[in-house]
Amino acid sequence: MTENGDAPDGGSREGALDEGLRVPSCERCPALVESRSRIVDGVGPTDADLLFVGEGPGAQEDEQGEPFVGRSGGVLDEALRDAGLARADVRITNCVRCRPPDNRDPTTEELANCRGHLDAEIERLDPALIVTLGKVPSEHLLDRSVAITAESGEVVDARIAGASRRVLLSVHPAATLYDRSQRDGFFETIARAGELSGVSERDEGGDGQSRLGEF
């Protein structure tokens, strides 16, 4: 394989699959088209057993073109490390792929416009577990009202992208920045995500980071 993931002959099955999940252009949501600098697609393996779904890109995500790379992304990365998970082992995506103006919540119409892309990603991955990061993705995927602080850590079954899926509800990592009392619960939820999905197990004699190497 070459550095960019392509096979020497120019073909890459994994690269082709990943390209199939990218959205090269979209003009469905005028406010988002005006606000964004780029479309921010999901990142991570296209056969990941663990999928994290956030709300939408923020300023740094819009700038760098990758979900959860700002302050909240730093919290998520820390929780993943604490759980013995590498970011490269999981897939991270959002309900909408374009930054809403002033980081507002996406509207119902904007969520609906982008739902086909999210469903295609979920169907392609067929993950063992979906983790919803915050109220918006939780309500969007479960199609009901969610009291996210009270329900964080709960596992529910929901019909998503044509199949029954296990969904683990979680507060948004940004919540831990504004309310430190949320931090322990968030870290416990991420650890549970690794265990439920089978992606990692806590290291029973140590720091839970045996798989991370230099990550």
47 Cβ contact partners less than 8 Å away, ≥ 6 residues apart: 125
41 token code pair: 């697609």
For 177-192, write each residue's pLDDT tens digit: 999 999 999 999 999 9
Question: What pLDDT does residue 20 have?
Answer: 81
For 76-130, write each residue's pLDDT tens digit: 999 999 999 999 999 999 999 999 999 899 999 999 999 999 999 999 999 999 9
Question: What pLDDT does residue 18 have?
Answer: 77
C-beta separation of 158 from 142 below 8 A: yes
How far is 32 from 22, CA to CA, in rounded Å? Answer: 17
How is 56-110 classified by DSSP, letter by letter? ---HHHHHHTSSS-SHHHHHHHHHHHHTT--GGGSEEEESSSSPPGGGPPPPHHH
How far is 169 from 130, CA to CA, in rounded Å? Answer: 8
Is 18 or 46 the better-scoring residue by pLDDT? 46
**pTM for this predicted structure:** 0.86
Half-sphere exposure of 29 (CA within 13 A, CB side): 22
How far is 204 from 178, CA to CA, in rounded Å? Answer: 31
How far is 138 from 54, CA to CA, in rounded Å? Answer: 9
For residue 199, which of 122, 93, 86 has the smallest C-alpha distance?
A: 86
Q: For 20-26, what is the mean pLDDT?
A: 91
Question: What pLDDT does residue 212 have?
Answer: 30
Residue 12: pLDDT above 90? no
Work out the pLDDT band at 45, boundaries 50, 70, 90.
Answer: very high
- Percent of the chain's residues with pLDDT above 70: 85
The distance between the two most distant Cα atoms of the chain, rounded to a whole number of Å, is 53
Q: How are strands ordered across the β-sheet holding 155-160?
A: 91-94, 50-54, 129-133, 163-170, 155-160
Question: What pLDDT does residue 115 have?
Answer: 98
Question: What pLDDT does residue 199 have?
Answer: 84
Question: What pLDDT does residue 58 have?
Answer: 95
For 202-213, write each residue's pLDDT tens digit: 443 334 333 333
